[in-house]
A and B are shown apart, each in its own frame.
Chain A
Amino acid sequence: MTEPTTIYIKPSKGLAALNLRDLWTYRELIFFMVWRDVKVKYKQTLLGMAWAVIQPVMTMLVFTFLFDKVAKLPTEGIPYPVFSFTALLPWGLFVVALNQGSRSLVAHNNMVTKIYFPRLILPMSSVFAGLVDFAIAFVILIALMFYYQVTPAWNLLWTLPLFLLLAIITALGIALWLSAINVKYRDVNQALPFLTQFWLFATPVAYSASVVSDKWQILYSLNPMAGVVNGFRWALLGAGNGPDITLWVSATISVLLLISGLFYFRSMEKTFADTI
């Protein structure tokens, strides 16, 4: 038997240390939670994993009808279905973070009140499980791009991973904030449907960010998802001007959201088991 490790338990003061080492020790649990979420999600459904495709495709079709055929929104010369589907990918990840992520602690309250493990694992694995749907939908995007003969630039090999990282940072940031607040105030559950809808309109998913007039661009980029979606369109389709000041504003907000989320989460963590 190996020498047992010694654990010191004491009240954490102020902004608790992030204790990322502990998270590393429990990395297998993250893997198992993601695996379980994915596995359970489509159990006892007729269409199974096809749902990961149906949802964004149907949304894309509705958007195409409403905003392309009826409203005739400008898309910078890109076929509207590809244009909107590219945005729906990171948006889908964000919605998972909003909905599953923010409920992750409350949904697993029996784990939270009975055992010790780094609580960060719960919102983290919700977001990572969203990546599986993302990967499936990405295959559809590639097919769409072939069909509409949209050729991406070669630099997407490094720009796309960066924007995916930004999408994950944003999603995780919001999931940390909302899941921690939800432990104490279930108002989060009430606000979610409204928040999701509102945020969709505030993000250039169905329309192009170029319809926002120049003087509002900076204010508009305070929505971190605006930067993510624009970045995806630029990396994959070459739409827009590429990285400029608005992207840096968005990216800064995303990073701040994640860092503040981590600290808020950690400072609330000690009371989770008592208040949940």
Chain B
Amino acid sequence: MTTAISVKNLGKQYKIGAAETKFRYNMLRDVIVDTVSAPIRLAKALVGKSDRRMNQNFIWALKDVSFDLDEGKVLGIVGRNGAGKSTLLKILSRVTEPTEGTVTVRGRVGSLLEVGTGFHPELTGRENIYMNGAILGMKRAQIDRNFDAIVDFSEVGQFIDTPVKRYSSGMYLRLAFAVAAHLEPDILVVDEVLAVGDAEFQRKCIGKMNDVAQQGRTVLFVSHNMSAILRLTQEAIVMKKGQLIKRAPTPEAVDFYLASGQAESGERVWEADEVPAASAPFKPITLKVRERSGKVVDTVRSTEPVVIEFEYQLDAPVTGLRVGMYLNTMRGEYVFTAFDTDDAKQYEQFGARAAGRYVSRCEIPADFFNEGRYYLGVNASSFGVKRYFMDENALSFNVDISGAPGTQWPEMRQGPIRPRLNWKIEKITD
């Protein structure tokens, strides 16, 4: 068996904070000084010496990553946002250069991220197929050979000579995907985290990935969706803060990932300067997602209850207060809205609250969520009087559906909830 990808001591450093000092003018004096010193800054910038004012901090998005992958293997990559997964894929597909280390890749790398890149709205479907194919590195003969298959796959048929600006967004996406799907890469890279489009489209991506894997080609698959990783890969690596911390058969790697290193997530802390002055006397402190054992987690299991905990401070007594949350899906659809004083008795008792520190805690029952990522927003208000504080996107968390109803069928279920319903099956006649 030959090695398809060999990564050695790979590292990628990014500059951060370079732009922060810009546009922070306090006085006219600053503006004048800035303008006068502009030519000097220009000269320094062009010869590569950075300005003293641009105090640059560096972070390692990827550090000391090494692994080999044999041809024909499907490797899952899991890790939190910012763990370096996407950076790794970008280096493998040569979009960006590493700062240190080497990669040896045998064969052509294709990615389903490139879908529709270089499409021009004024060009017809046919013209865009050739254009996009060339951008993705296909030879003209290869496009000619696959042309009919691409058109078939895209289902745009009779509109192939219509400018794509007249296409519906669905047609546009289908055509774009059809080109990418016929790219025939030796190594396919799928970053589901960044995949655009609706559930249907994501399903197509996963389907394509499966096909490629079955043809014996090498696949790298990044996902937050543990059941997809479990279903589609045999082996996985776990990344944390730019480092590869575990490589194991997928079930073991997923368990490791879910059980460790997640404590710092599943929690949102508000710093003093993040809270607008207008929200006084209400002051948010933390929002946490806990699993049954009480551990703060980024990924919860659908089959277990989830506790949402909002801690806040009241600097003065407030009457008519309700503190609550919005729950949204990744696509921005509301799942529900709920407040801590929704219950009439609770409202009698806690509608008026004295100054002090509080926690509003609620439990979302087991067998509630479908798989995917959910966003939590928080809100504190007195109905009809004042909205003290609102953050519509305070925290997000993943739901893992292992063991949930219907998981014996490897398919995506529609809808944001996945209840365990009490089905009764009766035989009423022979």
Interface residues of A, Cβ cutoff 8 Å to B: 4-12, 26, 28-29, 31-32, 36, 39-40, 43-44, 108, 110-117, 181, 184-185, 187, 270-271, 273-274
Q: Is the CB of A114 within 8 A of B104?
A: no
B258 to chain A, nearest CB (A): 31
Q: Is B45 an interface residue (CB 8 A)?
A: yes
Q: Is the CB of B104 within 8 A of A43?
A: no
Contacts of B117 in A (CB 8 A): 110-111, 114-115
Q: Is the CB of A29 within 8 A of B135?
A: yes
Tell me the bound Cα distance from A117 to B109 in angstroms: 12
Interface residues of B, Cβ cutoff 8 Å to A: 14, 42, 45-46, 90-109, 111, 113-114, 117-118, 120, 122-123, 127, 130-131, 134-137, 139-140, 163, 186
Residue picked from A7, A108, A113, A184, most chain B C-beta under 10 Å? A7
When A36-B120, A114-B117, A274-B14 are in contact, do A11 and B137 touch as well, CB less than 8 Å? no
8 contacts between A and B (CB under 8 A): A6-B105, A29-B134, A36-B123, A40-B120, A43-B163, A184-B45, A185-B42, A270-B97
Tell me the bound Cα distance from A187 to B117 in angstroms: 27
Contacts of B134 in A (CB 8 A): 28-29, 31-32
Q: Is the CB of A40 within 8 A of B140?
A: no
Q: Is the CB of A43 within 8 A of B105?
A: no
A27 to chain B, nearest CB (A): 10
Tell me the bound Cα distance from A26 to B108 in angstroms: 14
Q: Is the CB of B105 within 8 A of A113?
A: no
Contacts of A36 in B (CB 8 A): 120, 123, 127, 131
Contacts of B102 in A (CB 8 A): 8-10
Residue picked from B117, B118, B130, B140, most chain A C-beta under 10 Å? B118
Q: Is the CB of A4 within 8 A of B92?
A: no
When A26-B137, A32-B131, A40-B122 are in contact, do A116 and B95 touch as well, CB less than 8 Å? yes
Q: Is the CB of B95 within 8 A of A273?
A: yes
Q: Is the CB of B99 within 8 A of A40?
A: no
Contacts of B100 in A (CB 8 A): 11
Tell me the bound Cα distance from A110 to B104 in angstroms: 26
Contacts of A8 in B (CB 8 A): 102-105
Contacts of B113 in A (CB 8 A): 114
Q: Is the CB of B123 within 8 A of A39?
A: yes
Contacts of A43 in B (CB 8 A): 122, 163
Contacts of B120 in A (CB 8 A): 36, 40
Tell me the bound Cα distance from A6 to B5 in angstroms: 10
Residue picked from A26, A114, A273, most chain B C-beta under 10 Å? A114
Contacts of A39 in B (CB 8 A): 122-123, 127
